[in-house]
Amino acid sequence: MKALITGISGFVGSHLAEHLLQTRPWQLAGTVFGPTNNVEHLKDRLELYPLELSELDTVARLLEQVRPDFIFHLAAQPVVSLSQTDPWPTLANNIHLQLNFLEAMRRTVPKARLLVVGSSEEYGLVHTDEVPVRETNPFRPLNPYAVSKIAQDMLGLQYHLSHKLDVMRVRPFNHIGPRQGLGFVAPDFAKQIAEAEAGRRSPVIRVGNLKAKRDFSDARDVVRAYALLMEKGEAGEVYNVGSGKAHEVQEVLDALLFFAKVRITVEQDPDRMRPSDIPMVVADYTRLRECTGWEPQIPFEQSLSDVLDDWRQRILNSQ
């Protein structure tokens, strides 16, 4: 069996590659666009394809060459704030790449199995009586990134219904862990703390809304869910991936400050406030658990400790 991961050198893609190499006897290929630092230690065990995936013919040739049994489509523009400041590139990139893979799959490897990675952002405005959020909750998107993920989600469903492709969809809630880039709460906080520890900035951390409650899972748990769904998921179905627990952003900050090696002052930064923040979002992952037996394993505090250690190493390596 052979698996293809788009965006294999990214935050989640690199963890998925590690997990599959450790637990599955599959051959593994992946597309990269930009730096490959996150998978340098795996290069001798991977087929890497440095490709820009915006052209259908390029994607079709890739699938013809790789002939994958499983496709994990992770490549996307993932930062909500970027989609708000300049919406079209996020919409164009995420929707176009998804369509290219579905169409190329239909033409070249119609028997392959595809996992479309959406987002809990698709649910958007969640009312208090709708928590925990089920897969049947309505979409009320609050940003262009969410709209792009809804389009990916629905394209996956449409190609399953119209062309009988073996497509599953996931809606992961907030995930954290080593290698996550900036633009997300945990790495944004951790980078500031690591720089303060290294004497590269004053010991002040600037924060946005700390009261919002979110469902945080470790990316290393999330990729276990993706692998299990590839083996056991139902074609055409959609699955939430989350911990089922809510943590205030304040808890994220408090845990990171507890692990800090210097005393940090906290200051509110209006520029870090999201224009459409909602009080609480928590996943109902019953459908995923019943299908695969998956449960989150890595404690919240361990994830945050690992995030901070990751940023300490990045700062050290950049000196």
Burial of residue 130, with CB atoms counted within 10 A of its CB: 0-12 exposed, 13-18 middle, 19 or more buried: middle
pTM confidence score = 0.95
- Contact between 285 and 241 under an 8 Å Cβ cutoff? The reply is yes
pLDDT at 208: 84
H or E stretch covering 75: none
Tell me: the pLDDT tens digits for 117-139? 999 999 999 999 999 999 999 99
Structural domains of the chain sorted by starting position, each given as residue range(s) with its CATH number in brackets? 2-176+217-241 (3.40.50.720), 185-214+246-280+298-317 (3.90.25.10)
pLDDT at 163: 98
Question: Which parts of the chain have pLDDT scores under 70?
Answer: 272-277
Tell me: the pLDDT tens digits for 184-208? 999 999 999 999 999 999 999 989 8
Task: Give the pair of three-digit tokens for residue 292.
Answer: 């695969």
